Every structure is written in structure tokens, then in C-alpha cells.
Structure 1
Amino acid sequence: MATRPQTTPEELRTALAEHPNLRPRDLAQKLGVSEADLVAAQVGHGATPIVAAPKRLIPAVEALGEVMALTRNDHVVHEKIGRYANFHDGDHAAMVLTEEIDLRIFPRHWVHAFAVERETQGAVRRSVQVFDAAGDAVHKVYLRDGSPLAAWTALRNTLMTGLVGEHLALDPRVPVEAAKGDRAKADTLRAEWDRMTDTHQFLRLTAKLKMNRLGAYRMVGEPHARALAPSSAVQLLSDVAVAGLPVMLFVGNRGCIQIHSGPIGGLTPMGPWQNVLDDGFNLHLRADRVAEVWAVRKPTKRGEAVSLEAFDGEGGLIFQLFGLRKEGVDHVPDFARLVDALPTAEMERAAS
């Protein structure tokens, strides 16, 4: 277990009160604790520990009606408004599949969960917050004005664990895996890449070759993967907005991937953040944290799938962007043309 922070729950509650507008993740980093520590400090003061297992939690969330779903990593926040339904359980992976709320869930990382009530600006904000073993946020659900309080109370009372304590027992954070490849297997990678019939085969291929996503992109070369200028991540978001082109935008962490399917509005910069502020969908991207961007082409039996994938300086995946498939066809020509027009990393270096 990690060494627990010396900051007391009372001090954490004071810090929360003194910084009401600071994002919890940023406040936790400032204080040298985990985000889950901040919530645990509120147990008995608006936070209730509840069962984290998706097979019990998600059916209870379905009863909350229209809510806001939030999934993020260190560099991007993905928020969707909708209703949870069509839950498919699984030991390794589970899913929520609706038009608005589209999630891929990895249950082993749903370790700590809380039902949270917090007063802000004269109103009570209610949420369900889930964290991994290191105390990093995996997924959050925020109630809206029309959410039934009876369902909220039932969720909290039915799933409460009764656990109390000054600090959570947390594991050390697992570092991001750096790009991993093997030049001796480059030809095998290209040959097996060309034989793929589904994008989901890609991770099995890299695992078999003892590579990872970014390592494979660096190894395989064009036309399979093309290194783009880091600025192309924001440029493509802007381009698809201008074109009104519907997309699939994936944001995830170890425990959850959240997907927006549809068009996006234009980007609104706010300090280091680039923001999509649409009805029903918000995205908040730290564009300055994008270190590598790749245009990736994967063959499938439904046509070539083209994506833009952005990574941070440690090799962690920030987000993926695909053209929205139509009637089971993976290839979206208009999206592919926008990706093909993006500047390469070499072009950006030459211009600097």
C-alpha cells in the first residue's frame, strides 16, 4: 500500500471549502493527495461509501433518469447528458449502450465509490463518483434538476457499504507504459496488420508481439500509421465542426471509455483548454499536453477504419477520433480526406 497522506480529513474539507471553483483533480494534485482522498474526507459530511461493482451500481444509476456522465484522464474531460440503459455486464468488460451514454467499462478498476452531496452556490449537487485502486477518478455521474430524489436515496441506502475511516487504503499509481516496440518484428506487424478484419483485433495483435499501441504506430510506418503535427489534434476537431461531419470521439482511462457519436460544435479556447460546449456534450482538452498525434488506418471487413489518435509526453493515450460509421461501414471518406490533409510532424518541425 502507498504511504498515506499526512493531511487530515478536516484539512481536506477546509481546502475544498476554500477552493470551490478548483477542479477536484487539480486540488488533489496541489495538496499531494488522491482525488478519492478528497471525497473520503467528506464521509459523514455529505459523502457515503457505496458498492463500486458496475453490475450493482449501473442498474441503480439507470433509475436516476437524465444525468450527466463524466469520464476523463489527465488531459481531457468528456461529458455527456443522457440516460443510462442497456447495460451489459461482464467480468473483464461491461457496456452501457444508448444513443447518448455509450461506455466501455473495465470492472476490476472500479474499486472505490461514493454517493456525494455537496452544496455549491446555494444548491445541493449530487453525484456518484467511482475511483480506481490508486484513488484516481474512473467515472462520475451528476444528477440534473429533473433527476428523481427518491431514486437517489434508494441508490445510496441500498448500496452503502457502512465503511468508515480517516483514510482510504490505496495502491501506488501504476505509471503510464512507455512506447514499446520491437524492430525485429516490424515485418510481422505489417503483415498481420494487413490481415486484420476488425479494429478490435489490433490490441490482441500488439499483445501477441509484445508491443503496445504507440510502439506499434512508431514501428509500422506508412500507410498504416503517419506521424502528424501535434497541432493537428485541435485542427481536426475544428475541421469536423466546420464541416458538420459526425464523428466518434473516445476518451478513457484504465477503468472506463466514454464515446460521443455525432457532430461537434466549434472550439472555444479558455486559457490552456480547448472546449466543445454543445447541448448534451462538452469536451475540455488541454491542447498543450498533446505531444504526439498519429493518423492510423486499419483494414476491416467493413472498409478501412481511419482514426486520429493523440498521446501525451509519457506515451499515454489522450483521445481517439473516428468518422461516424454508417450502416455498419467503417470507412468514412469525408473524414479520411480531412485526416489526409493534416500536416505531418516533419512539416511542423521544418516550419519551426
Structure 2
Amino acid sequence: MTKPLTAADIRAAKVEHAQKRDRDLADMLGISEAELVAAHTGARDGMTVTRIAHAPDTVMPLMTALGEVMSLTRNASCVHERVGTFEEYRSGAHAAMVLGKEIDTRIFPKHWAYGFAIENGTDTGIRRTLQFFDPAGDALQKIFLREGSNHEAWAPLVDRLRLPDQSTGIAVAPREAPEGAKINADKRDILLSEWQRMTDTHQFNRLTAKLGMNRLGAYRLAGAPLVRRVAPEAVAGFLEATSAARQKVILFVGNRGNIQIHWGTLDTVKPMGPWLNVLDPRFNLHLRGDHVAEVYVVDKPTKRGPAVSIEAFDAEGSLIFQCFGQRESDDDALATWHGILADLPDLREAAE
């Protein structure tokens, strides 16, 4: 049996592999990213890590004081980075949210388990970040201060959130297995009937749960005309076409504890190896194209007309991203958006 790594072992590995990203180093060591960060609690090696409160109701109302920051949310296949200021926070036991012109998130508090404030010396100065993790030690949200942030608010904020326990070890829980597709074939007729009567996209999850299904299971079961499966490689073309058309979108990327939303265009699309990137001044997206296993164009009825999305899943059935067209006005029929999605090759066409 392999001896567990001590905090000193983890810190030594961090020094030895200083160029590795924390997530990659944690994977190499066989630990969670939160354990890697916790091992550095205190001030050492040009780095100061402070364990802080993690509850969104405690943390999120304080974020506005930091001014303009970069907020990062990711899953195993996609990274979503948005520059802006944290504005209105709305609490909720099951689901909370941050509402703002640029930083817009949906938060699921039960999954927030650890928080850290990190000051790291770099060649260009001190980098300050707040990082929050789930019980398994996987990152939920990271908030990076920028040059124009209110750095004077940092120390008082950290002091206010600082926990009495500043130990270097944490006990993480086993990572929850992906749910995969849940299908109840006997309920297909009910699914289609109630789906077509929807008036709001938020009704969809309640409908599938009631029928013993989930999002992916319902998509696989429903078929045309509500769902069209497209080729996984079509995602690259989708990004290029959306960029070329200057089509505004509403792009969701998330994990169990946090979903972050981008409103606006996707201007600068740059593939790099397996990564499909959007590199805009206030929004970056980094998507592993080779992780995309299933892609669907989905039509959900609403009071304002059809809400048509493109949604991508990985090989284990986890949602990677979801994207809708953004209406410019109440009477915007989103003809350009619908045309972009209609031009994507379906799975059968790509295979022929």
C-alpha cells in the first residue's frame, strides 16, 4: 500500500514541478486540487495560503468590494473565464445566484466545502485569488484579482473570512460518479406531450425528474422534432460560424456547485491542439474538443417562442456546455442563430 503524501511531500512536489498547473499536478500526485492548496496553508516559498469560509451566503456579498476581477468556473472539459464586477447576490438554500452585467452565476451551496485565499509571488508581482472547492476537492469557482482590482480590500476581506482552523490537511470525500443518461422509455409519450406544453426552459428539469429521467436521457429518447443529434466535430464549426455572424449567445459552463454564464459574442476563436478557444478581452473559453462525445440541438417551447440550444456532453454523460442565442429585442426571432444550428451536420450525415 502506498504511503499517503504528507503536506511536506506535496509542497516539495510543487517546487519541483513549479510550471505545472495545480489541477495537473494534483492529478499527477493522485490527490485533489484542494488538498494541494491546503498543504500550502501558511506563508512559505513566496506563497501565502489562508483557509477561509466557503458558504456562498457569507462569501459572495463581499466580492463586490474587490472591484473588477476575473471569475473562473470549469468542469473536466471546459473552462469559462469572465471579467467583471460581482453585483447583486441573491441567497437560496438550494440555489443562489450572482446577477450582473458581466458576472452571472448560479450557485448550489450544498456542494461548497472548502475555501482558500491565495497570494502567490510571480515575475510580474503578487497574484491574489480566492478559490472554492467541493467535498471531493474539485474546484467550483476561482476569483482572480486583476491589475485594476481594489487590492486594498483584499486584506480586510481575508481577515473577515479567515477560519480558526489553519491546518495543512483536509479530509476529502470520494468523488461522485457521473450520473450518465437516465431513460424511462415507457414514459416517452408523456415526455413529448408535456415538453411541447412547456412555457419556460426551467420547467424542463422538473419534467424529466418527475418522469425518472435526466437531461441526457430525455434527449436520447425524444428525437425529432424536438431534438436533433449532431456530429461532435461540429462544435468547432459552430464556434466559427457564431463568431463570423457576430451572433450574441448565452453560454453556460458549470459543475455541481456553480454555473457561470457569458452573455455576448464569441469574437476570437482560436483552436490550439485539442483545445477550442475563445480569446476575447473580457471573456475566455477553453474547450477540450476531443472530450465532446454527444451533441444535441434542442428545442424547448417558451412564452417568447422556441428556445433552441446546442448542448455538448462527454463520454460519461456529463454536460460540458449549453448555449442559446441571445435575443437583441423582444421581437427578435433569432433567424441567424437558427440558421447556424440548422447548418450543423447531424450524426448520420457526418458518418456517410
Please tell me the TM-score bracket, short chain as reference: over 0.9
Deviation at 1:20? 3.2
The one-character-per-residue Cα deviations of 1:254-277 (angstroms, maximum 9, x if unpaired) are: 000001100112321222211111
- Over 6 Å off, 4+ runs: none
Per the alignment, residue 167 of structure 1 pairs with 169
Kindly tell me: are residues 190 and 30 of structure 1, through their superposed partners in 2, closer, same or farther at Cα, counting changes over 3 Å? same
Task: Report if the CA contact (8 A) 2:40-2:168 is conserved.
Answer: no
Matched AA of 1:118: N
Distance 2:17 2:331 in 1: 48
Q: Does 1:147 align with 2:149?
A: yes
Task: Report if the CA contact (8 A) 2:230-2:347 is conserved.
Answer: yes
Kindly tell me: are residues 330 and 189 of structure 1, through their superposed partners in 2, closer, same or farther at Cα, counting changes over 3 Å? farther
**CA-atom RMSD, angstroms?**
1.6
SS in 1 for 2:66: coil
Give TM-score scaled by structure 1 length.
0.96
Distance 1:48 1:325 in 2: 43
Per the alignment, residue 18 of structure 1 pairs with 16
Q: How does 1:48-67 map to 2 (within 5 A)?
A: 48-67=50-69
Distance 1:268 1:129 in 2: 27
Per the alignment, residue 27 of structure 1 pairs with 25
Q: Does 1:189 align with 2:191?
A: yes
The one-character-per-residue Cα deviations of 1:237-295 (angstroms, maximum 9, x if unpaired) are: 11100111111111000000001100112321222211111000001110000000000
Distance 1:4 1:210 in 2: 41
Matched AA of 2:27: Q
Distance 1:13 1:91 in 2: 36
Task: Report if the CA contact (8 A) 1:302-1:330 is conserved.
Answer: no
SS in 1 for 2:19: coil
Deviation at 1:5? 7.8
Task: Report if the CA contact (8 A) 1:4-1:167 is conserved.
Answer: no
Per the alignment, residue 92 of structure 1 pairs with 94
* Fraction of identical pairs, as percent: 51
Matched AA of 2:17: H
Task: Report if the CA contact (8 A) 1:303-1:329 is conserved.
Answer: no
Task: Report if the CA contact (8 A) 2:252-2:321 is conserved.
Answer: yes
Deviation at 1:346? 1.1
Distance 2:321 2:13 in 1: 31
Kindly tell me: are residues 235 and 329 of structure 1, through their superposed partners in 2, closer, same or farther at Cα, counting changes over 3 Å? same
Instruction: Give aligned pairs, total.
Output: 348
Greater CA deviation, 228-237 or 197-206? 228-237
Q: 1:235 aligns with which of 226, 237, 242?
A: 237
Q: 2:312 aligns with which of 292, 307, 310?
A: 310
SS in 1 for 2:128: strand
Give TM-score scaled by structure 2 length.
0.96
Matched AA of 2:32: S
Kindly tell me: are residues 149 and 336 of structure 1, through their superposed partners in 2, closer, same or farther at Cα, counting changes over 3 Å? same
Q: 1:226 aligns with which of 225, 228, 244?
A: 228
Task: Report if the CA contact (8 A) 2:10-2:39 is conserved.
Answer: yes
Deviation at 1:331? 5.0
Distance 2:225 2:10 in 1: 51
The one-character-per-residue Cα deviations of 1:308-341 (angstroms, maximum 9, x if unpaired) are: 0000000000001110133456852211111011
Deviation at 1:122? 4.8
Kindly tell me: are residues 197 and 32 of structure 1, through their superposed partners in 2, closer, same or farther at Cα, counting changes over 3 Å? same
Q: Does 1:298 align with 2:296?
A: no
The unaligned stretches of length 5 or more in structure 2 are: none
Distance 1:264 1:313 in 2: 26
Deviation at 1:4? 11
Q: How does 1:129-140 map to 2 (within 5 A)?
A: 129-140=131-142
Distance 2:300 2:100 in 1: 26
Distance 1:225 1:282 in 2: 28
Q: Does 1:38 align with 2:40?
A: no
